[in-house]
Homo-oligomer: A and B are copies of this chain.
């Protein structure tokens, strides 16, 4: 789960969908935004560079996206427009570890598109709203991990899915995005295991056994 899955390397963009000229232009332009961000960073991102890279008339880009904030907002919007689902590995620990591995890979990918999108979200109110909606979408899709675990009897029914998911995933983002430590192959599994142990001890019960914190 990442705020923006990286496009397939080299090959055609993973989310190109059937559609007319309008949808093709959108795909070209948003691919160009991601490529510019990854290679040159937010500071070098201009409407002109995106139009040139996409091979689309500048006037079209201005008319449809208005400014760099509009382009970024649409990149986040498009990122929700996929059929991503968390892996179903058959266990809560496996599902959370797989999710964290996927996040760590996206965050460590080169060029650093996801990192550049985080940086952009600190600059533009429009991008910040986009990233907020995208996280909400991703965490909502991940709730199935918890409901599957409840069905299997791994978790009690009154588990707060969102709190469990945040506890399981936050350390990966914290270390890679904020602390800027290099990817640690043990981190995805350790963070998943910590959340599973805490869940077994009742940490995410909606009515906690004691409210002393």
- Measuring CB to CB, which residues of chain A are less than 8 angstroms from any residue of chain B? 42-43, 93, 97, 115, 118-119, 122-123, 128, 131-132, 135, 163, 166-167, 169-171, 173-175, 177-180, 188-195, 197-198, 200-204, 208, 212-213
Contacts and interface: CB of A to CB of B under 8 A. Distances in A.
Given A197-B198, A197-B201, A200-B201, A190 B177 contact: no
A175 B170 CA distance: 8
B197 A193 contact: no
B166 A132 contact: no
Contacts of A131: 178, 180
Top 7 A-B pairs, shortest CB-CB distance? A189-B213, A119-B122, A170-B174, A170-B170, A197-B201, A198-B198, A193-B213
Contacts of A115: 122
Contacts of A43: 123
A42 B122 CA distance: 10
A78 B92 CA distance: 44
Given A97-B213, A173-B174, A198 B189 contact: no
